[in-house]
C-alpha cells in the first residue's frame, strides 16, 4: 500500500465520491480558491469547478442551512467547518434541522449531509479554538458522529459517511493532517458504527478514538516494557458506539481504561463506563478508570496544555491504578 498523509486520504475520499456521484459537492470557507485551509481539498476546484467546490463567506449558520436545504432536495453536500469550534455558530441548523428533519417529516426528507472539519486541541490556539464537541453531537438522536485516528480509517470512514443517508458529523484533527499512513490504491469503505481492536492484549483494555489514540499507543508500548499487555480498542465512531467490541474486550482482559480528549462531565468515556459496569460488571477485576482533559478551558501556554490534556503518562498511571490499586 501507499503511504500518504491524512489530508491526502480525506481529499481522495471526497474526490472519489464526487466522481462517482454528481450529487456530491463541497462547500465551506476557503475550500476552493485557497485549496482548503488545511489543503484537504487541494486540486478539487480545478477538477470539479466552482459549482461543486464552493467558497463561502464567514457565515457558518448560513452555509450549514444551505447544505441542509440542498440535502432535502436530493443533493449530498459536504460542509466543511474550518474548525468545529465554529460549528457552534451553526449548531441550530445541525441539531434542529439536519438531525431532526427525517423524524419531523415522517420519513419524507432524509438528510444525506456530512459536516466535517478539525476538532480538539491543535497546539497553542487557546480556549476558544481547542475544544472537543464529539460528545455534544453524539448526544443528539438523528446524527452519526465519526472521529478517525489514521489515514486508512479517515478515507474509508469518510467515503462511507458521504454515502450514508443520515447526517454525519465527521471530526478530524488539525494535528493529524500531515500524519502519514498506509492507504490502499483501490476502493474500500469502513462501515460506520464498527470499532476496531487495533492491538491485541490480555491485561487491560484501553478504549480511545481520534488523535489521542496515538498517545494510547505510546502508553501501550511503554507498558509492554514492564510486562503489561494492553489491548487497544479504537471506537472510530462515537454515535453509534460499538459496545459489543468493547464489552468483549473487557471480558477478555478484566480491566478497562477509557482515554478521551473531551472534558470529563457527560463524556463518551462516562457512558462507556456506565455501559461496561452494566453489562460486564462480573468480569471486572478493578473499577473502570477514565482519562479526560482536565475540567478547565485549555490555556495558551505549552506547559499548561501538557498539564491539561490526556497523554501517554496519564494513561500509564491509570493503567497501573487498575492493575495494582483497583
49-58 burial, b if ≥16 CB within 10 A, otherwise e? eeebbbbbee
Question: In the chain, where does the domain assigned CATH 3.40.50.970 lie?
Answer: 2-183
| Whole-number pLDDT of residue 1 | 83
Strands lying side by side in the sheet with 53-55: 53-55, 24-28, 76-80, 114-118, 168-172, 144-146, 237-239
Q: Domain spanning 196-325 has what CATH number?
A: 3.40.50.920
| Whole-number pLDDT of residue 23 | 98
Q: Around Cβ 107, how many Cβ atoms within 10 Å?
A: 8
Query: Is the domain 2-183 a CATH 3.40.50.970 member?
Result: yes
| Whole-number pLDDT of residue 326 | 61
The reply to whether omega before 240 is within 30° of 0 (cis) is: yes
> Cα(40)–Cα(24) distance, rounded to whole angstroms?
16
Q: Which of 29, 60, 172, 261 is catalytic?
A: 60
Q: Which of 12, 29, 80, 129 is catalytic?
A: 129
| Whole-number pLDDT of residue 190 | 98
Residue 289 among the catalytic residues: no
Q: Are 148 and 210 in contact (CB under 8 A)?
A: yes
pTM exceeds 0.85 for this model: yes
Question: In the chain, where does the domain assigned CATH 3.40.50.920 lie?
Answer: 196-325
Regions of the chain with pLDDT less than 70: 326
Residue 129 among the catalytic residues: yes
| Whole-number pLDDT of residue 325 | 75
Separation in Å, CA 37 to CA 2, 18, 34, 178, 200? 24, 20, 7, 13, 37
Q: 204 - beta bridge partners?
A: 230
Quick one: cell of 128? 476558544
Amino acid at each position: 500500500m501507499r503511504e500518504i498523509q491524512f489530508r491526502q486520504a480525506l481529499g481522495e475520499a471526497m474526490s472519489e465520491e464526487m466522481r462517482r456521484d454528481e450529487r456530491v459537492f463541497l462547500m465551506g470557507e476557503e475550500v476552493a480558491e485557497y485549496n482548503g485551509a488545511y489543503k484537504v481539498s487541494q486540486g478539487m476546484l480545478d477538477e470539479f469547478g466552482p459549482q461543486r467546490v464552493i467558497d463561502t463567506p464567514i457565515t457558518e449558520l448560513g452555509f450549514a442551512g444551505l447544505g441542509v436545504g440542498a440535502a432535502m432536495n436530493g443533493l449530498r453536500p459536504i460542509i466543511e467547518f474550518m474548525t468545529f469550534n465554529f460549528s457552534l455558530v451553526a449548531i441550530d441548523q445541525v441539531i434542529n434541522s439536519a438531525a431532526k428533519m427525517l423524524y419531523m417529516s415522517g420519513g419524507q426528507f432524509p438528510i444525506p449531509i456530512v459536516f466535517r472539519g478539525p476538532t480538539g486541541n491543535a497546539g497553542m490556539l487557546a480556549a476558544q479554538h481547542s475544544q472537543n464537541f464529539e460528545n455534544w453531537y453524539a448526544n443528539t438522536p438523528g446524527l452519526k458522529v465519526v472521529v478517525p485516528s489514521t489515514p486508512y480509517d479517515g478515507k474509508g470512514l469518510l467515503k462511507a459517511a458521504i454515502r450514508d443517508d443520515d447526517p454525519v458529523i465527521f471530526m478530524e484533527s488539525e494535528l493529524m493532517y500531515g500524519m502519514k499512513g498506509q492507504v490502499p490504491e483501490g476502493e474500500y469503505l469502513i462501515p460506520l458504527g464498527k470499532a476496531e481492536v487495533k492491538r491485541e492484549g490480555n491485561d487491560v483494555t484501553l478504549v480511545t478514538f481520534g488523535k489521542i489514540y496515538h498517545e494510547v499507543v505510546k502508553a501501550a508500548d511503554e507498558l509492554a516494557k514492564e510486562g503489561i499487555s494492553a489491548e487497544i480498542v479504537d471506537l472510530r465512531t462515537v454515535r453509534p458506539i460499538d459496545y459489543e467490541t468493547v464489552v468483549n474486550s473487557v471480558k477478555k482482559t478484566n480491566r478497562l481504561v477509557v482515554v478521551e480528549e473531551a472534558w470529563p462531565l457527560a463524556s463518551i468515556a462516562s457512558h462507556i463506563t456506565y455501559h461496561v459496569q452494566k453489562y460486564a460488571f462480573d468480569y471486572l477485576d478493578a473499577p473502570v478508570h477514565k482519562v479526560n482533559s482536565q475540567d478547565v478551558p485549555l490555556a495558551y501556554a505549552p506547559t499548561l496544555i501538557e498539564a491539561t490534556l490526556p497523554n501517554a503518562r496519564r494513561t500509564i498511571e491509570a493503567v497501573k491504578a487498575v492493575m495494582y490499586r483497583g
